[in-house]
Structure 1
Amino acid sequence: MAAISTGTYTAAGVSPLLQYRNSCLRITSARFKIASAAATTGRSTNSIGQQPPTVPMSNNSITDSTELEQTTTLIMKDFMEWSKDMIASGSDGGPPRWFSPLDCAAPMEDSPLLLYLPGIDGVGLGLIKHHKRLGRIFDIWCLHVPVTDRTSFSDLVYLVEATVRSEHHHAPRRPIYLLGESFGGCLALAVAARNPHIDLALILANPATRLRESQLENLITLSEVIPEQLHPSMVKLLSVTTGVPARVAVAIPGSGHLLQQAVAELFRGDVAFSSYLSVLADVVPVETLIWRLKILKSAASFVSSRLHAVRAQTLVLSSGKDHLIPNPEESEKLRKMLPNCEIRRFNNSGHALLLEADFNLVTVIMGANFYRRGRHLDFVRDFVPPSTSEFDSVYQPYRWMEVAFNPVMISTLENGNIVRGLTGIPSEGPVLLVGYHMMLGLELVPLVSRLWNEHKIVLRGIAHPLMFKRLREGKMPVLSMYDDYRFMGAVPVSATNFYKLLSSKSHVLLYPGGMREALHRKGEEYKLFWPEQSEFVRMAARFGAKIIPFGTVGEDDIGQMLLDYDDMMKVPYLKALIEELTGDVEKLRYDTEGEVSNQDVHLPIILPKVPGRFYFYFGKPIETAGRKEELKSREKAHELYLEVKSEVERCIDYLKEKRENDSYRNIMARLPYQASHGFDSEVPTFDL
């Protein structure tokens, strides 16, 4: 076997790959530049582990949202055409090598390295839809395995491992991401098992770690027994493994149909199949596909015996309609076996998840809090604001709330004038919005979306830890339920995170009443449950943040409480359930006494009403700039704390009174107006 030494490979004559060190072969096309990783970057003496060359990008690409949005126009046909172009550009000879796509944006400072490990197609263009956006937050290298290459699975593991070790030596504090798709998932797990001391983060898209009871196992068996003259038909069967999400079945010779006819019938109606087949048949030899099926079998066996050694942080992307591999079952197995593993399920997706039109990889990574630039996640430093398309895709499922509740928002200018809209909220931070938490936090979606749509302000919410972790497995909803909130910038409550947000001049959302306020009892609508001591004033003054008190009204117009916490605790089964749920999450405010300290986790039973309307009133900004020394006094800080609380109560009272004069308060009154003026039109409300 090959021996690994610091900075170089020592070959033992096992594979041409291990001896391929100093060549400077480069293949250039209009879209990418490939190299055997022998570019003179000066980062390492290991030619296999050196950085692949790319054409320098302008720094403007980091913020050029128009260019980033163009990524969404790429479709399966582009993947096929680019793959053919890439292979033909350099006759696709030589050993495996790394390349960086030219259409990647210039990465941010200290961006982690992302190594993309493709499926058995080996082309390396599986991220074609995601290059621009991923390239903003990662230094992307893609593995390309030429069609003529016959490198074994173990030697591919050594190649990736050499790159990982070289890059870790160069930047030991920077995590290295391994994004493995299908066969590449086996490759990523194998490298992680052999390098538990290196900070690796694995993203596994439908990993082919389980062939038993899969269509791939049938295909492998079929490839070993069918006559050689029928091998061309394998192209059709194998096309799905490189990205076509289609129905798969194995046609058995002797069923009364020619194998070719049976396969064609399987894929009838598949839009992508016909165009893909022409590319695959032209550029990928049948012998190559059969070879790679065989090494896939050895890869799955290799990984299965080494999963116990994997210590890397892992995110498994599992498709519900993957007809090649039983991924729901396999992903659950990985979650149980790996010590730091989470799953994100896509029930309506197929095997080629990364190539599907409505799949956004960056949104998934950010929502899962899986992006970090150091050994530990920094919720402030590692946050990346969404692009316009990303926000729209996340917001779309909640758009009905805009129509159903048609929120009215008014704010206060610095001169005291009240105006429609959010003009009174400063565009420059640090800004601290402090307000009332309506039942179940229903005000969050319209609040966050309006600030983004009108002013492109990302509101960083201080949230309960239950949205980020569990103390144990239990009956709490899966963490993925809160991905959208985390994607939009929610951070777990802590003094450290609060400090970092204000120091970075963010717009911060704080609810002092927390869960107790959002899960209040019957008759407690619009009542504040704030702690006795001031919790935020002195921190805000330290950074000169503007405090904006605000009130929200409308929960009593959309539902009526049937069973609250007190009612549920009288039912033995519900009481036991509440106690179990509460034990699954971290508690807050250990130093605070009273009912505000820690609210038990429960879900009140609410009877929906014909929707009314939500109202938001943002009071006059309270300046803390220049008051740092004054507010160091506990008495002065508490006075300001009570002032903010009183202002929130005043905003609520104002809205409760004013909404009585809103003739469009009920949805039945608004619908005719919206039907005639458009559902995006601004519906009138009370006079200010």
Structure 2
Amino acid sequence: MQLSADRADRVDAIQKMIFTLADAIAPVVDLSRVYVDGLDGLPRDGRFLLVGNHTVSGWVEVVSIPYFVHRELGTRVRGLATRQLADVTGLARDVLDAAGAVVGDPETAAELMRRNETVLVFPGGGRDMLKFKDEEYQLFWEGRSGFARLAIAHDYPIIPVGLVGGDDVYHSIVERDGTWERMTRGLGRRLHGVTGVGIPLTRGLGPTPIPRPQRMYLRFGTPIETRRPTHVETPDWEATVKERTQTALEAILRDLQEKRSTDPFRHLNPLAWGKATRPSGG
């Protein structure tokens, strides 16, 4: 994570620009009526691990989670990105570095925790973005528990954070394990980098690639304690923390989908703006 002096200055300047802009657009964000709750439960010291769900939109959760944490606590969230980040160069890499993204390997994550920084991870990675027919808001973690191992090792509380809305911007029209998905697994590996997963065929508004207008619903859950009880073996505790986190996140996603189902503003109809469902106290 060491940068040359010139590049460090450049990244620092971009970082200031990003967060100045983030503060300036707050009134515009408020007009969009993003449903967000649970921010008041975040540890005030910023020392926690956010564990979220990826959606087919991809960028919505990557941007909105750090944005609202920064708005609440003034801290920069360090997002653990895929290893492909190491291949990004030039201005794009400088922007990602300035925003807080780092390659999500265990040693980098451990160093961030030793520095008491706020960290964000999506355990499903790219697989969570590659949704097929009727897979909206499902988690594809496939036994991944590295995040739990790191949180336990550094006594980091885990904050499950769920986003609903992103999986409705586009809908897949093909099934997992169907003919198309099986036929495109080789091509999929070259295009999206995930082994054993084909290419979803999606549509947006009607039959077009235009994204559907969707309100976003974001919830920061109750902190999950990771300190291992003395009578519990380390592997068992790691599995327990992973399971508790996944269960809590799945419950958040179910509840947000229920709230959305009766929200007049779910499709961003401006005539329903004033009737939009709001969090308690919001």
TM-score, normalised to structure 2, is 0.78
Q: 2:77–2:119: 8 Å Cα contact kept in structure 1? A: yes
Q: Which sections of structure 2, spanning at least 5 residues, go unmatched?
A: 205-209
CA separation of 1:580 and 1:546: change in aligned 2, threshold 3 A: closer
Q: Does 1:664 align with 2:282?
A: no
Q: 2:174–2:200: 8 Å Cα contact kept in structure 1? A: no
Q: 1:407–1:446: 8 Å Cα contact kept in structure 2? A: no
Aligned position for 1:424: 41
The AA in structure 2 aligned to 1:426 is P
| 16, 27, 36: which one aligns with 1:409 | 36
Aligned position for 1:513: 124
Q: 2:161–2:249: 8 Å Cα contact kept in structure 1? A: yes
- Match of 1:466, SS? helix
Alignment of 1:358-437 (within 5 A): 362-363=10-11, 386-387=15-16, 389-393=17-21, 402=29, 406-411=33-38, 422-437=39-54
CA separation of 1:580 and 1:434: change in aligned 2, threshold 3 A: closer
Aligned position for 1:532: 143
Aligned position for 2:207: none
Q: How far 1:460 moved relative to its partner?
A: 0.8
Q: How far 1:639 moved relative to its partner?
A: 1.6
Aligned length, in residue pairs: 272
Alignment of 1:11-50 (within 5 A): none
- Looking at structure 1, the residues matched to 158 and 21 of structure 2 have their Cα atoms a distance apart, in angstroms, of 31
Deviations 1:340-386 (A, max 9, x none): xxxxxxxxxxxxxxxxxxxxxx24x887xxxxxxxxxxxxxxxxxx3
Alignment of 1:49-128 (within 5 A): none
The AA in structure 2 aligned to 1:447 is I
Deviations 1:596-623 (A, max 9, x none): x846585754324541211111211112
Q: Does 1:651 align with 2:257?
A: no
* Bigger helix fraction: 2
Aligned position for 1:439: 56
- Looking at structure 2, the residues matched to 603 and 540 of structure 1 have their Cα atoms a distance apart, in angstroms, of 33
Q: 1:540–1:546: 8 Å Cα contact kept in structure 2? A: yes
Aligned position for 2:162: 551
Name the structure, 1 or 2, with higher relative contact order (CA <8 Å, separation 6+): 2
CA separation of 1:402 and 1:630: change in aligned 2, threshold 3 A: farther
CA separation of 1:405 and 1:542: change in aligned 2, threshold 3 A: same
Aligned position for 2:215: 613
- Looking at structure 1, the residues matched to 62 and 260 of structure 2 have their Cα atoms a distance apart, in angstroms, of 20
- Match of 1:460, SS? strand
Q: How far 1:575 moved relative to its partner?
A: 6.3
CA separation of 1:506 and 1:602: change in aligned 2, threshold 3 A: farther
Q: 2:33–2:276: 8 Å Cα contact kept in structure 1? A: no
| 578, 584, 587: which one aligns with 2:188 | 578
- Match of 2:49, SS? strand
| 93, 101, 106: which one aligns with 1:490 | 101
Q: Does 1:469 align with 2:87?
A: yes
Q: How far 1:535 moved relative to its partner?
A: 1.9
- Looking at structure 2, the residues matched to 517 and 548 of structure 1 have their Cα atoms a distance apart, in angstroms, of 18
TM-score, normalised to structure 1, is 0.35
Q: Which sections of structure 1, spanning at least 5 residues, go unmatched?
A: 1-109, 115-133, 139-361, 368-385, 412-421, 471-477, 586-596, 674-682
Greater Rg, structure 1 or structure 2?
1
Q: How far 1:467 moved relative to its partner?
A: 2.4
Q: 1:440–1:519: 8 Å Cα contact kept in structure 2? A: no
- Looking at structure 1, the residues matched to 262 and 149 of structure 2 have their Cα atoms a distance apart, in angstroms, of 39
Q: How far 1:666 moved relative to its partner?
A: 2.4
Deviations 1:646-677 (A, max 9, x none): 1111111111112223232221146764xxxx
The farther-off stretch of 481-490 and 521-530 is 481-490
- Match of 1:468, SS? helix
The AA in structure 2 aligned to 1:619 is G
Alignment of 1:162-561 (within 5 A): 362-363=10-11, 386-387=15-16, 389-393=17-21, 402=29, 406-411=33-38, 422-441=39-58, 442-469=60-87, 483-532=94-143, 534-561=145-172
- Looking at structure 1, the residues matched to 85 and 93 of structure 2 have their Cα atoms a distance apart, in angstroms, of 6
RMSD over aligned Cα, in angstroms?
Answer: 3.7
